[in-house]
Amino acid sequence: MVDPRPWDRIYVAGAHSVGKTTLARWVQRVTGYHYMAEWPRRLIAEWEVSLDTMRVDVARTGEFQLEAYRRHVECEDALETPYLADRTALDVVAYTGRHTLVVPQLVAAAADYSARLREPRTLVLFVRPHPSLLAADGVRESPSWDEVVRVDAVLEFLFAYHGVSPVSLDSPSMVTRLRTVGKLLGV
């Protein structure tokens, strides 16, 4: 393991089907940081809810998004530094507007949360989409390029709005991404 200081917290953010989890798992292997998996994927399994239900049951989907946000923040609060999070709570907010009515609650909560993403010794990696990366992950529906780009744009807006300056990983090449992140980590 390497000591990748100066980072106490590392976040891997972005839309679905862009390679976040693959990158996060690599970072965890080379750093040994405490790892926090993304909450929405865990909640889908825990709640045994189908994507079809989530698209049409606005109230249930709103409860799901609020719970995913709450659990993400709660889990982060319980982690000792250094830690690595697969997603930020802002990622949850980026998905909220399409199928729920809880946007005001999550946007209000995001104002407090975003301060941690601006703290010194925090690295936010923003993994950007590319059509060649679209693939079903076995949990969600097959990704739509339009949907991935929409979520990416909302997340980009949220980062800008909250004054978060992520490192943008634009290349679809995992090798290029690993080299870029490796330099940031001193690996």
Residues 56-113 have pLDDT tens digits of 888 888 999 999 999 999 999 999 999 999 999 999 999 888 778 999 999 999 999 9
With CA atoms as reference, report the closest residue to 23 among 183, 175, 186, 187. Answer: 175
Predicted confidence band at 6 (pLDDT cuts at 50, 70, 90)?
confident
Tell me how far apart the alpha carbons of residues 165 and 162 are, in angstroms, rounded to a whole number. 9
**Residue pLDDT, tens place only, 130-160:** 988 877 665 555 678 999 999 999 999 999 9
Helix, strand or coil, per DSSP, at residue 14: coil
Structural domain range at position 84: 9-185
Does residue 22 belong to any structural domain of this protein? yes
Residue 126 vs residues 15, 46, 104, 137: alpha-carbon distances, Å:
9, 27, 24, 19
Q: How many domains does the chain fold into?
A: 1
Lowest-confidence pick of 17-26, 39-48, 118-127, 172-181: 39-48
Distance CA 109, CA 113 (A): 6
pLDDT class of 52 with cuts at 50, 70, 90? confident
Q: What is the pLDDT of residue 4?
A: 52
Helix-strand-coil split of the chain, %, nearest 5: 55, 10, 35
Task: Tell whether 4 is covered by a domain.
Answer: no
Asked whether residue 1 is assigned to any structural domain, the reply reads no
Q: Is residue 151 part of a domain?
A: yes
CATH of the domain at 23: 3.40.50.300
**3 domain-assigned:** no
| 2, part of any domain | no
The count of C-alpha atoms lying within 13 angstroms of the C-alpha of 125, restricted to the half-sphere facing its C-beta, is 29
